[in-house]
Amino acid sequence: MKKSIFLKILVIFLAVAFLAGFSTIAVAKKIKVGGLNDTTGATSDVGKDYAIGMAEAFKYINSQGGVNGKKIKYVWFDYGYRIPEAITKYKLLKRLGNIAIMGWGTGDTEALSPTVNKDKIPYVSASYSAHLTDPKKTPYNLFFSSDYSTNARSAITAWFDKKWPKHKDFGKRKPRFACVYMFASPYGSAPIKAIKDQAKLLGFEIGPDQDVSLFAIDTKSQVMALKPFKPDLLWHGNTTMSVAATVRDAYALGLGTDWIINNWGFDENLPRLAGKAAEGVMGATPCAFFGQNYKNMDLVVSSAQLYNPGVPVGKRLIRTVQAWGDALVLWEAMKRADKKGVDLTKKGCGPAIMKEGFETMRNFDIGLGAAPISFTATDHRPATGCLIQEWKGGKFQTVEAVDLKKRWPKLWATKWLGW
Amino acid sequence: MKKKLVLMTVLIFGLSVALISCVTTPVKPTNKNFIAPKVTLAGFEVPQYDGYWYFSSKVKPTKGKAGNRGSMLPLSFLFNVQNENPYPILLNGMIFTVVFDKEFSLVTYNNQDEYWIPAGKTDQIRATTLITARSALLSLLVTGGFKLKAKGWSPWKALETWWKGVPDGTTPINITECSFSFEADGVSKIYPYEIQAQ
């Protein structure tokens, strides 16, 4: 009898203790999303702003209730742009139960792609390499932006449409074109085949490529090597610092060429670093610059102020906006999948996020000056063209919004996927 | 017997409620009453020093694979986080950039671990960063290349100076672009801080 009373009391006591004591720390399961960023390595000139922008985007998303009321736990690491470290950190993020990963560079994203396919984890990267857009090969790789090859094809097309007709030699000869990039960089080399293909399509004469390191601050030898070819147009495929160095040296040495730049080399820091030499430089802008007047930009700017008050707003870049682009597209995919009953707190939900989330998007508008986004089970090119802008008169101005699919529908559909 | 059981249950329940009420915060956190915690640096140290060295990938190592590798330089910062609020607060994130010689950003540190700081108490939080002469070289070249050029410094000279000057206390170190995130019962606050480490 005594034992029975004791047990009853114990049960009541434990129940009270549990209800009162632990109820305040009872936590709903969160959706785990991981991140790999470069805040200390070879691309930290653009990677730091992206990393903090991504964290801000997830804080904003949680402030809006997360994914249909379920909060996201976003954990990210700096991997210093080192592929072995990216692989190690990816494995850690997987072990921690992350159901999607926000990745960074082309080298590591492409290196991780077979593992990502095997693990079936949606991998939303800051690498926009076209090699990641064919679901037959890379079914779990995604990003919000036009891919590098689309950027490159759009940029050379915009120059051909808008600048070449104003040239004194227009109609007299072929325009001369060459590429400048770091040969050993997977990011730099990713769109080279495509842009040369586009150059041939448009009737350019193609000159010799120049190898410029991502760390270059002196590129005079490469500029001098280009002089005999007398290029009318050069593509630069690096990030901002070495792009600025090359543009400056070309200006100082009187190369007299126009520039088109891939998106990671074309940002608010370019005119700060290149000065007068940046005048007229054109670049691929898959989304608006930080603070430009576009839908949802107010959220980006206010979140930057709220969540990172230590970083002056004047120092923020388009990289933050790009981070938001990837975060918003994942958010939408997760919301759609969740509504279809997919449990996003459980490992192994990747295929369902793809099928019920990403691959249901058709012309989805995230704002931020980005093109409408579509993913299908057979085509992961998010956008069919790119807005090309130039730095002119102290501000970024539109040159042309090129839509490759509209212009070359057959080539777009049958030839250009995946490279 | 039943009476005894009821009495004991009521007694235990009452005691539990009384105990819980003792530990429950009397003041509810709000956006208005939240006092910004004071964050100061309690100490800075290089927890493990391996000198300054660098091997390029052309140099064959005694063991293992060749590669571009440099000595590590861990930097350990001990922060005092003083909670002047009459309720406990949760520190759930910190981010900052370490700057050498006042203008060269070498590493951005981010941590989302969670620490509860009791009401009216000061907690100590340690943040340790790790850079190597290799990672610092790459970061320096892309973020500080033009600044080095303007000063007439070579990146190698800068690295050697810092790798010797940081543990000696002769290289100025600043913590910039720093913010700490706090939470208390649904109220979230993020505050910026600027701290000179040495």
DSSP string, A238-286: S-HHHHHHHHHHHHHTT---EEEE-GGG-STHHHHHHGGGGTT-EEEES
B47 Cα to chain A: minimum distance (Å): 20
A7 has a chain B CB within 8 A of its CB: no
State the pLDDT at residue B139: 87
Record: contact A21-B149, CB cut-off 8 A:
no
Amino acid A96 reads L
Q: Is the pLDDT of residue B9 over 90?
A: no
Tell me, yes or no, whether B115 lies in a domain: yes
Q: Which of residues 388-407 of A touch B (CB under 8 A)?
A: none
Is B16 part of any domain?
A: no
A18 in B contact zone (CB under 8 Å): no
Same domain for A71 and A176, yes or no, is no
Please check whether residue B143 touches A, CB under 8 A: yes
Q: How many helices and strands (H and E) does chain B possess?
A: 3, 10
The answer to whether residue A304 neighbours chain B at the CB level (below 8 Å) is no
Residues A165 and A196 in one domain: yes
List the one residue out of B37, B114, B35, B36 whose CA is nearest residue B81.
Answer: B37
CA distance A252 to A256: 10
Q: Is residue B12 part of a domain?
A: no
pLDDT in tens, chain A (419 residues): 555 665 565 555 555 555 544 444 445 789 999 999 999 888 888 999 999 999 999 999 999 999 999 999 999 999 988 889 999 999 999 999 999 999 999 999 999 999 999 999 999 999 999 999 999 999 999 999 999 999 999 999 999 999 999 999 999 999 999 999 999 999 999 999 999 999 999 999 999 999 999 999 999 999 999 999 999 999 999 999 999 999 999 999 999 999 999 999 999 999 999 999 999 999 999 999 999 999 999 999 999 999 999 999 999 999 999 999 999 999 999 999 999 999 999 999 999 999 999 999 999 999 999 999 999 999 999 999 999 999 999 999 999 999 999 999 999 999 999 99
Task: Check CB contact of B9 with chain A, cutoff 8 Å.
Answer: yes
Is residue A10 in a domain?
no
Q: Collapse the DSSP code of A66 into the 3-class scheme (helix H, G, I; strand E, B; otherwise coil) and give the result.
A: coil
A192's CB contacts (< 8 A; 6+ apart) are A152, A179, A181, A209, A237
Beta-carbon separation of B146 and A273 below 8 A: yes
**A17 shares contact with chain B (CB less than 8 Å):** yes
Residue B15 touches partner A, C-beta closer than 8 Å:
no
Q: Is A1 among the domain residues?
A: no
Q: Is B145 on the interface with A (CB under 8 A)?
A: yes
- State the Cα–Cα distance between residues A163 and B60, nearest whole angstrom: 52
B191, part of any domain: yes
CB–CB contact A40 B108 (8 Å): yes
User: pLDDT value at position A258?
Assistant: 98
Report yes or no on A180 lying in a domain. Answer: yes
Contact B12 A48 (CB under 8 A): no
Same domain, A278 and A184: yes
Count CB-CB contacts under 10 A for residue A88: 13
CB contact under 8 A, B135 and A1: no
A157 and A263 part of one domain:
yes
Among A241-245, B68-72, B146-150, where is mean pLDDT lowest? B146-150
Q: Is A43 on the interface with B (CB under 8 A)?
A: yes
Per CB-CB distance under 8 Å, the chain A contacts of B148 are: 217
- Inter-chain CB proximity B192 and A245 less than 8 Å: no
Q: How many domains does chain B have?
A: 1
Count of domains for chain A: 2
Q: Residue A261 sits in a domain of what CATH number?
A: 3.40.50.2300
Cα distance between residue A74 and residue A190, in whole Å: 29
Is residue B101 over pLDDT 60?
yes
Say whether both A124 and A173 belong to one domain.
no
Inter-chain touch A8–B5, beta carbons under 8 Å:
yes
Residue B127 at interface with chain A, using a CB cutoff of 8 Å:
no
Q: Are B83 and B50 in contact (CB under 8 A)?
A: no
Helices and strands: H and E segment counts in chain A? 15, 13
| B94 domain residue, yes or no | yes
Q: Are residues A43 and A125 in the same domain?
A: yes
What is the rounded CA–CA span in Å between residue A172 and residue A401? Answer: 27
> Which tokens belong to B134?
């290799």
Cβ–Cβ contact A21 with B under 8 A: yes
Contact yes or no for A127/A143 (Cβ under 8 A): yes
Asked whether the beta carbons of residue B5 and residue A215 sit closer than 8 angstroms, the reply is: no
Is residue B14 included in any domain, yes or no? no
From chain B residues 63-102, the ones with a CB under 8 A of any chain A CB are 95-97
To the question of pTM greater than 0.95 for the whole model, the response is no
Mean pLDDT, to the nearest integer, of B138-165? Answer: 93
State whether residue A66 sits within 8 Å of chain B by CB.
no
What is the per-residue pLDDT for A301?
98
Domain membership of residue A25 (yes or no) is no
Are residues A174 and A265 both part of a single domain?
yes
Question: What domain range is B78 assigned to?
Answer: 27-196
A396 in the same domain as A371: no
Which pLDDT value is given to residue A23?
47
Find the domain containing A161 and state its range.
Answer: 149-285+387-414
In a domain, A167, yes or no: yes
The verdict on residue B3 lying in a domain is: no
CA gap B119, B175 in Å, rounded: 26
Minimum CA–CA partner of B195 in chain A: A310
Residue B160 sits in a domain whose CATH number is 2.60.40
Whether A278 and A398 map to the same domain: the answer is: yes
Closest residue on chain B to A49 (Cα): B108
Put simply, the answer to whether B135 touches A215 (Cβ < 8 Å) is no
Distances (CA, A) of A6 to A125, B37, B109, B116, B158: 59, 47, 53, 36, 73
pLDDT > 70: percent of chain B: 88
Q: Are residues A174 and A269 in the same domain?
A: yes
What are A269's two structure tokens? 């820091």
How many residues comprise chain B? 198
A379 in a structural domain:
yes
For B94, the closest chain A residue by CA position comes to: A308
Is A23 domain-assigned?
Answer: no
A126 and A221: one domain? Answer: no
User: Does residue A8 fall inside a structural domain?
Assistant: no
Instruction: Please indicate, yes or no, whether residues A48 and A140 belong to a single structural domain of this protein.
Output: yes
* Chain B nearest CA to A212, separation (Å): 13
* B107 within domain boundaries: yes
Q: Of A68-77, B12-21, B26-35, B132-141, where does mean pLDDT reach its minimum?
A: B12-21
Pick B142's closest partner by Cβ from A12, A45, A52: A45
Query: Which of B5, B98, B142 to probe the A interface (max A CBs under 10 A)?
Result: B142
